[in-house]
Structure 1
Amino acid sequence: MSTPTTTHIVGYSEQAWGHARPMINLFARFVKLRPVTVTFLTTNAFYDRATKELSRSFESDDKELAKRVRVISTGNAEFMALTSGDESFKTAWKSLISEEELVCAQTGTRFAPLPKPKAIIIDFFAIEPFRAIRALSGHSVKIYSWVPGQTYPILYLFGPKHLGGRGDVNALIEEEVRQTGRDYNDVANELTFKPFGEIVRLPGMVPMYDHEYYPQDFPMPGTLGDIFPHVYNTLEVSDGLMMITPNSYEPEAVAAAKGWFAQTGRPAYAVGPLLPSASKEAADANEKKQSSEGGQIQEFLDATLKTSGPKSLLYISFGSIFWPVNKPENVWAVLDVVMELNIPFIMSHASPFAGPIPDEIKEKVKAYGKGILSPWTPQQLILDHPTTGWFIAHGGHNGVTEAISAGVPQILWPFGGDQPLNAVQIADQLQVGYELLEVRTGHGLKPIYRTGYTPKGTVDAIKAEVRDVLQKAFGEDGAKKRAKLAELQKALNGEWEEGGSSRSDALAFLDSL
């Protein structure tokens, strides 16, 4: 298939898989909807994973179509150091707007020049790259801020005050520095990551104490203090907003974000869920290749289905970054209860903060005989398997939407970012899952506004809560939540169908260029 392309779009995400993966799937959908070519800029560390993820959206006879998404590495970037790839991006951007060829730093492949991009969709954490685009190309290329998470926390952390947001935090920091002479970074970290005892009120979300946005004592990267204060201003001057959320999941938040941008005549698009768009068989086969234990996990799932039946397995994952760093014993306490209740399980420990699993735990799981500990799992394959019943997760937006799309209810253990509000949305507002409270640490061991309860955070309290939640989940109460989830699953999976809101928003974006 060789349809001439007329529009060139660029994409750039920070080096976090939860930011990059949905962007790749969106671009695969773009080239199927309209005759466009997309250049996706990534890093050496993510190149292989990105190309494999892209392959999950195309059938074997779609090779020409797949070529319209060009995956190009700009070089090495330090993990979790969000500013380390800024200079290499700037160099690539100069080539793109000068209509010069690009060379992939990972493979050495030379990519022919394309017409100057009409637009770039760029991670809202990429502050310096955003500034470089404006400095080098002015307003000749439209910049759309990429929001790789739930919309509710974006309204609070980076939104205007009339929507319950914090507004221009950078202005507050600069004023404090001017009055006190303190170091900017010290003030930035204080005003950005420390709660002040305020009550946060967002459209369509239950009121919460600000400390509930930080339920775990987790070491956030130092570079975030250089980035978070500037996101509000970047959003204010971008040409539009691209949200990975489905409208059916958080309609009030999507409406608020669209209204915010509409005040200045700018569009905001909600385009979730961003899952692979090839057939399930093709998508699962290519995802399995991303895990060295993919074959073993497939065999384990099939065997569990035979021995324990449908919806019997518990899947546990905190994504590619998060882990209870200061309290790893909390994870082992949960596993003790899972094995006590004779529940088969798969646990992913992909986070670099997880470290090696203690030999004692490995031996315990081996003796149990119904569990797998894996450093990287084919998550969607697991969620789609008929033996998977429940998902203990951190509540990152990709995992949340993947689980809803697969019809697998969740038990959430949030750390930060969008996770605490996803937990409230799932457990309290939609009532299609549960939230674990006793696993909280740090600021999380303060009162919960909506109930007044203060978690104890002890191992005994964790075991008691997990035992209670799992018995409910695999019982009558869990069956009711699963039935309720089925309604949301249908709505969410319809977003990209003909007439669906995500498909309509994507087409509106493409046709505006």
Structure 2
Amino acid sequence: MSTAPKHIVAFPYQAWGHARPLINLTAKLVKLRNINVTLLTTNDFYDRAVSELARSFVPGEEEFAKRIRIVSLGDSQTFAFHRIDDSFKATWEKIAAGEALVCAKSAVQFDALPPPQAAIVDFFAVKPIRAIQEISGKSVKIYSWIPGSTYAVFYLFGPDKLGGRGDIIAKVEAEVKRTGRPFEEVAGELAFIPKGEIVKVPALPPMYDYEYYPQDFPVPMELAIAIFPYVFQTMESCDGALLITAEPYEPEAVAAVKSWYAETGRPAYVCGPLLPPTSATATAKEKQQSTEAVEIQEFLDSTLKISGEKSLLYISFGSLFWPVKTPEQIWAFLDVVMERGIPFILSHASPMAVVPDEIKEKVKAYGKGLLSPWSPQQTILEHPATGWFLAHGGHNGVTEAVCAGVPFILWPFGGDQPMNAVHISEQLKVGYELIEVRTGPAGLHQIYRNGRTPKGTIEALKEEARDVLTKAYGPDGAEKRQRLAALTHAATREWEEGGSALRDVKAFLEKL
């Protein structure tokens, strides 16, 4: 007697580094089991999500693809989640009742499915997780989607015993009661103001707390206060967690999170790397997401022919980050790149990125550079012309570069990026971290592990850029590339038999 397919709902918050790996996980889930998936997104991400999902299915796999329905909740804005939170709650009421859904972007009506057994929800989605708990109670298992470096979880959102700040909200409420100070003031202070304390978390060198904020990057405080202080409580209230990392990249961190969750009888599953399988379809669909894809492919091929293998520097700070307050820093770094005759692609996808006309003219005159507002990143990293990846160190890009065997030059801003930068440069030794790009009152403090204090000048930045690029394109860089090859080999086999990702995701599906 056949049983009805299980139903899973997946909801990432709307940063591409959060959404893309979850999109790719849904494709793997429907190939492993006869299940249906409802993937919730927003109008801004809908087309890109459809293209990204299509990358995981080759001709002959249409039946798998049909089991995933992508439903937009409506319009959204960067750093403004209230409208989407409200739309999520209204949509969840329909999902829980087994009613039909209408996509706000495509206007397609999807037939009703039975209520879901599980929901995979971004750990920043504080209000959506509460909505599921209020509406569905214990009938739906909720798994926190942890879309970044596992190392980052400890200090930012972990328990005190793992070097974290524990239940920040409880501490805020106690301080408000004791002093009578406004909640927002105390929450902002406890969650975001470093005090010069030494942070010790599993398997990372000790760091000052202000090293977690190396850039003066504008994040609306009202949004931050509405999310960040609640993440620990939200994670603790969920039934388990899914880590997007590849276990060979940070095995000690994965083990520590699994142990933490096991204390309360909850599973933490590792499921990275979460990239589409290599295929002509995957490449074509990725290129559909960039209006410059044809030009980029031609530029890569030309660079390979003229400058040779591993000659190109690919620069990207992801879909959100950019040196907004000090844009002169990136142009100064580019001056050094061009001074050394290095071919490059600069992807400036952030909505806050502005490229002045004089820079566009300078790059055009240089003849070996390309500026692109959105780039097919996996295509670029896997091209034989690409030699180095200058990045912010977000986990999505780190994973792509590790799997492509491309070493790093890192310019972290915040979030999980500072931990990735330390791990990659100091522990794995497969890249460099730029120090003189640091800005703001926190960024210009002394670094605990080496006693260095950034000078914070353009002259110092250029000097460091020359030093790092000389090393990267010399014997030292060759050693780092060779060292990375072993990690690439291990990470790219995580979804094969015997791999941790395949093992854990199968275990997750069995629990349904």
TM over 0.5: yes
- Which position in structure 2 is the counterpart of 1:480? 479
Q: 1:20-99 residue pairs with structure 2 within 5 A? A: 20-99=19-98
Deviating above 4 A after TM superposition, structure 1's stretches of 4 or more consecutive aligned residues are none
Range with greater deviation from structure 2 (152-161 or 296-305): 152-161
**Cα deviation per residue 1:258-288 (whole Å; 9 max; x = unaligned)?**
00100010000010111013x3322111101
The Cα of 1:183 is off from its aligned counterpart by 1.8
2:418 paired with 1:436: no
Q: Distance in 2 between matches of 1:226 and 1:154?
A: 18
Q: Distance in 1 between matches of 2:372 and 2:79?
A: 22
- Which position in structure 2 is the counterpart of 1:512? 511
CA contact (8 A) 1:409 1:432 kept: yes
**Which of 366, 376, 389 pairs up with 2:374?**
376
- Which position in structure 2 is the counterpart of 1:212? 211
Residue 112 of structure 2 aligns to a residue in which SS?
coil
2:108 paired with 1:112: no
**Cα deviation per residue 1:404-432 (whole Å; 9 max; x = unaligned)?**
00000010000000000000010001001
The Cα of 1:75 is off from its aligned counterpart by 1.1
Percent identity for Structure 1 against Structure 2: 62
The Cα of 1:60 is off from its aligned counterpart by 2.3
Q: Distance in 2 between matches of 1:239 and 1:128?
A: 16
- Which position in structure 2 is the counterpart of 1:164? 163
Q: Distance in 2 between matches of 1:20 and 1:249?
A: 20
Residue 196 of structure 1 aligns to a residue in which SS?
coil
User: Structure 1-normalised TM-score?
Assistant: 0.98
2:71 maps to a residue whose letter is I
Q: Distance in 2 between matches of 1:412 and 1:11?
A: 31
The Cα of 1:184 is off from its aligned counterpart by 1.2
The Cα of 1:176 is off from its aligned counterpart by 1.7
**Cα deviation per residue 1:280-332 (whole Å; 9 max; x = unaligned)?**
32211110110000000000000100000000000000001001111100000
Residue 116 of structure 1 aligns to a residue in which SS?
coil
The Cα of 1:116 is off from its aligned counterpart by 1.0
Q: Distance in 2 between matches of 1:460 and 1:307?
A: 31
CA contact (8 A) 1:185 1:226 kept: no
- Which position in structure 2 is the counterpart of 1:233? 233
The Cα of 1:198 is off from its aligned counterpart by 0.8
Q: 1:408-423 residue pairs with structure 2 within 5 A? A: 408-423=406-421
**Cα deviation per residue 1:39-58 (whole Å; 9 max; x = unaligned)?**
00111111101000000100
- Which position in structure 2 is the counterpart of 1:257? 257
2:232 maps to a residue whose letter is Y
Unaligned residue ranges in structure 1 (runs of 5+)? none
- Which position in structure 2 is the counterpart of 1:426? 424
Q: Distance in 2 between matches of 1:301 and 1:161?
A: 48
The Cα of 1:358 is off from its aligned counterpart by 0.9
Residue 122 of structure 1 aligns to a residue in which SS?
strand
Q: Distance in 2 between matches of 1:483 and 1:256?
A: 28
Residue 350 of structure 1 aligns to a residue in which SS?
coil
Residue 346 of structure 2 aligns to a residue in which SS?
strand
2:401 maps to a residue whose letter is A
Residue 382 of structure 1 aligns to a residue in which SS?
helix
Residue 87 of structure 1 aligns to a residue in which SS?
helix
Alignment size in residue pairs? 509
Range with greater deviation from structure 2 (381-390 or 222-231): 222-231
**Cα deviation per residue 1:438-491 (whole Å; 9 max; x = unaligned)?**
000011111000000101111010001011101110110000000000000001
- Which position in structure 2 is the counterpart of 1:271? 271
- Which position in structure 1 is the counterpart of 2:387? 389
CA contact (8 A) 1:4 1:35 kept: no
CA contact (8 A) 1:15 1:80 kept: no
- Which position in structure 1 is the counterpart of 2:334? 335
Q: Distance in 1 between matches of 2:67 and 2:3?
A: 10
CA contact (8 A) 1:78 1:84 kept: no
Q: Give the aligned CA root-mean-square deviation in angstroms.
A: 1.0
Q: 1:11-22 residue pairs with structure 2 within 5 A? A: 11-22=10-21
The Cα of 1:5 is off from its aligned counterpart by 5.5
CA contact (8 A) 1:5 1:37 kept: no
User: Structure 2-normalised TM-score?
Assistant: 0.98
The Cα of 1:224 is off from its aligned counterpart by 1.5
